[in-house]
Amino acid sequence: MSETNRQWVLKRRPVGMVKPDDFELRTAPVPEPAEGELLVRTLWLSFDPTQRGWLEDRPSYLPPVGIGEVMRASSVGQVVRSRHPGFQAGDLVFGLGGWQESFTVPGAGFPGVQKVPAGVPPSWMLGVLGVTGVTAYFGLLELGQPKPGQTVVVSGAAGATGSVAGQIARIRGCRVIGIAGGPEKCRWVVERARFDACIDYKSEPVGRRLGELCPQGLDVYFDNVGGEILEAALDHLALRARVVLCGGISSYNDVEPRPGPRNLMNLVIQRARMEGFIVLDYFGRMEEAVRQLGAWVRAGEIVHEEDVQHGFENIPATLTRLFRGQNLGKQLLQLGEPR
């Protein structure tokens, strides 16, 4: 293991679209673990839309990344040295390691790391069995509460969270409509993830197509994008519909806030409910979600895609792929293999 630790730190707060040069490459000594800590070598990094919010100097569910601080990110790594009785060198772990080649972390509790379950591909703990899949699981089932025969609409349906949310709805006996950008993504949503239909927001009028595909209205809308697509979905709510606010990637890079949906009164008219959530609220139940998601993946009920980039130098550019719609499925970057 190298004696120097390369890191990408926040150079300045982005204005508008996040750019690779908003970050700066630095080197630091490899840290030494304190009592109860681990030294971990990073193998995989996760890229998630929520990272854009962590770059803003405003209150949120986690503190903003400070100027000069290592960019926060979920990661999978391998323990190099352990000063915690529950871990040993060679263990594969996942947690918030950040954009750096190695890091020290507590061996228990948040923000500590957890072991990758035996027999599970490590990258899955950042995607379908990680925060991404767990977000879809609890957001859809706890807030959306889909029932057999109901119509569920999912935006960002080819993304890591939306694709899993829609497949869970299908497993629960629902009719599932996706919204995604471009023919390739829509084809994947229908043919691989087995949604009933998918609207291409880049070439089709979303509002009109929702009216055609959901003539009785939609019972659950799982929103990952916000903006005009959220407004279109609100126009087509069924009686007592549930709107799950998971994300709003369409506006994360806006300089000025967009006007809110103009049709919120439809929630009143349809006696519907719109609710947001953060997956950290369900941290204590992660094992439940991972166990069920794993069973569905093994049974072929849930499929998932990974968009894997490589190279430490490509880390900042990989984040921008999310906001340009270049990824299909979970966006990852691999730095190495276990030893």
- Residue 109 pLDDT exceeds 80: no
pLDDT in tens, 38-66: 999 999 999 999 999 999 998 888 899 99
Q: Residues 63-106: pLDDT tens digits?
A: 999 999 999 999 999 999 999 999 999 999 999 999 999 999 98
Residue 112's pLDDT is: 78
Q: Structural domain boundaries of the chain? A: 4-127+305-334, 131-280
Distance CA 277, CA 266 (A): 21
Tens of pLDDT, residues 174-233: 999 999 999 999 999 999 999 999 999 999 999 999 999 999 999 999 999 999 999 999
**Banded pLDDT at 149 (limits 50, 70, 90):** very high
CATH topology of domain 131-280: Rossmann fold (3.40.50)
| Confidence band, pLDDT 50/70/90 cuts, at residue 283 | confident
Q: Quick one: three-class SS letters along the chain?
A: CCCEEEEEEECCCCCCCCCHHHEEEEEEECCCCCCCEEEEEEEEEEECCHHHHHCCCCCCCCCCCCCCCECCCEEEEEEEEECCCCCCCCCEEEEECCCECEEEEECCCCCCCEECCCCCCHHHHHCCCCHHHHHHHHHHHHHHCCCCCCEEEEECCCEHHHHHHHHHHHHCCCEEEEEECCHHHHHHHHHCCCCCEEEECCCCCHHHHHHHHCCCCEEEEEECCCHHHHHHHHCCEEEEEEEEECCCHHHCCCCCCCCCCCCCHHHHHCCCEEEECCHHHHHHHHHHHHHHHHHHHHCCCCCCCEEEEECHHHHHHHHHHHHCCCCCEEEEEECCCCC
Summarize pLDDT for 251-261 with one digit per residue, the tens: 888 778 778 89
Radius of gyration (Cα) for the chain, nearest Å? 20
Q: What is the pLDDT of residue 82?
A: 96
Res 284: pLDDT: 87
Segment 150-170 mean pLDDT:
97
Lowest mean pLDDT among 132-141, 251-260, 280-289: 251-260
Percent of the chain with pLDDT over 90: 89
The model's pTM: 0.93
pLDDT in tens, 300-309: 999 999 999 9
CATH topology of domain 4-127+305-334: Quinone Oxidoreductase; Chain A, domain 1 (3.90.180)
